[in-house]
Amino acid sequence: MNIFLDGQSLQIEQVIAVAYEDATVEITPEAWARVRQSRAFLERIAHSGKVIYAINTGFGSNASVLIDDAETAILQTNLLLSHATGVGEPLSREAVRAMMLIRLNTLLAGYSGIRAETLELLQALLNHKIHPVIPSQGSVGASGDLCPLSHMAIALLGEGEVQIDLPTGGTTTISAREALQQASLQPIQLAYKEGIALNNGTTFMTALGVIAVHESKALLHKALQSVALVLEGIMARRQAFDVRIHQLRNHQGQLDIAQQLQTLLQGSTLFGMEAGKLGEALQSSASIVPPSSLPEVGEFCVGKAMKFSTHFYKTLPTEDETPRWLRWETLANLAERKINPQDAYSIRCTAQVLGASAFAIEHLAQVMAGELNAVTDNPLLFEETEQVLSGGNFHGQPLALPLDYLKIALAEIGSLLERQVNKLTDTNHNDCLPPFLVENAGLNSGFMIPQYVCASLVSENKVLAHPASVDSIPTSANQEDHVSMGSISARQALEVLGNVKKILSIHALTACQARDLREKQLQHWGVPYKTAEKTQPLYQAIREAIPYLSEDRLLYKDIEKAYEVLGKM
């Protein structure tokens, strides 16, 4: 697959193709023409004798320091070397490739004055799969993502470390200079403005934001499949998912979620099973319900009664040897519960909650789509008016706010999933399934502690969801006195996303266990049912890797396997 860059039309899907699938990057002739034209303009003004920021001056609060023409190349090199001071875990391979691609596209717009040969080397690094080691911490999200972008850019000088792929699989870390030699590439020597063109912009947070959008959409898609299994296992009331209700709300995300769940659950009779259908199993069991109680059961089945009488329960057989969740009185209790038309909010309001999160994800996608083709370095060159203008397009505030919004949206997905896990494991609220979804509760703890794990992750997400963008710390001797912290928003969004993936793994395990138990229960009572065809792929994938939990075992291994299964779907 080839991706063509022109500096103007890069799309999220193309970034993902390069980041995840190693698509080859090519550049259009029109983009090269703009780059060369912009560079020629820069060369003219650089020799004009005028004082121009970042070309013959220092940077930030050093902007008043004039630089001799003979030292302008040293100025740009020093900028990158001095700014490559990141700390923390290195970025993922995918994030680094996304950064490189987005930076390349930004500079191809033709307003930065960078040389074509510099961009050719950046392109070559991508296509040769030479990935700079970029620490994840160190940017405040204004003046651009200076620190991480400097780590990316020093590889062009043959400085720093890079990761390369091994023929046998995996990666290894070597010096950038060695990697360039192995690929028959030459490091560059920077010229006017090239250092600041490479490290000044929102590329770090944009790259992480694009990855967050891509993975959040995939997460939500998988979460809906797992939720559909829960709705079958709990035999959720159908009314709350009637599309007519959601059409009246005027929120497209909510309507989309309701429609998707309806599609996933098409053909299921577990979903929305009514009290009368359960009562019919009592009515047809002559050996269980004596003739004297049949009229009462008949009244219940046609909706003329909400409860069975004490006399009815007394006529049922004694079943001391039968687990409580399989007794006939439990069937009667379950039928009575289904008379109530409303589930708890964690079930009934699924479309409202997940729909709001879906809207937030889509909002960030729109912001990122625009930022992919934004020019965000400083200063910018406008040849048509013979001007070099200094501004603040590097400021990350337009990204920081929606990235914080995404953190909240993802945290809420996790919160809803945890509430559903809690509901399924609570025998007082799981519509007559056994405690903690295990047959011999007491001797076995079942899914008790996985719910604790979900609660822990949800609580952690609440801390991470605090908006980073409400903070600002002045930098560069108060010249850069308001910063966005959008880089922190982006990193935390991926942390929250990772936690929700773990919650979803437990949710999917719990959902499959609940449906298995419900099927066992209904089969025992002779209640006919059908599962939805479209809930089967996730259920089968989980069950092929992880068996039904009949008694306690090491569940952390099951959770790890569920995480792997979901990652491959």
Q: What amino acid positions are annotated as catalytic residues?
A: 53
Helix (H, G, I), strand (E, B) or coil at 91: coil
Beta bridge partners of 380: 389
Question: How far is residue 257's CA from residue 129's CA, in Å, rounded to a whole number?
Answer: 39
Contact between 414 and 458 under an 8 Å Cβ cutoff? The reply is yes
CA 499 to chain centre: 10
Helix (H) or strand (E) holding 45: helix 29-46
Kindly write down the DSSP assignment for every residue of 438-487, as one continuous string.
-TTBTTB-TTHHHHHHHHHHHHHHHHHTS-GGG----BTTTTB-----HH
Q: Strand 161-165 to strand 171-175: parallel, antiparallel, or no bridges (unpaired)?
A: antiparallel
Question: How far is residue 96's CA from residue 100's CA, in Å, rounded to a whole number?
Answer: 6
Contact between 210 and 98 under an 8 Å Cβ cutoff? The reply is yes
| Residue 198 tokens, joined | 């490479």
Q: Strand 171-175 to strand 380-382: parallel, antiparallel, or no bridges (unpaired)?
A: unpaired
Q: Cα dist. 296→282, 305, 311, 316, 326 in Å? A: 11, 8, 10, 13, 22
Question: How far is residue 171's CA from residue 164's CA, in Å, rounded to a whole number?
Answer: 5
| Residue 32 tokens, joined | 């090269």
Question: How far is residue 410's CA from residue 209's CA, in Å, rounded to a whole number?
Answer: 13
For 167, other C-beta atoms within 10 Å of its C-beta total: 5
The three state secondary structure string of 184-244 is CCCCCCCCCCHHHHHHCCCHHHHHHHHHHHHHHHHHHHHHHHHHHHHHHHCCCCCHHHCHH
Question: How far is residue 11's CA from residue 513's CA, in Å, rounded to a whole number?
Answer: 40
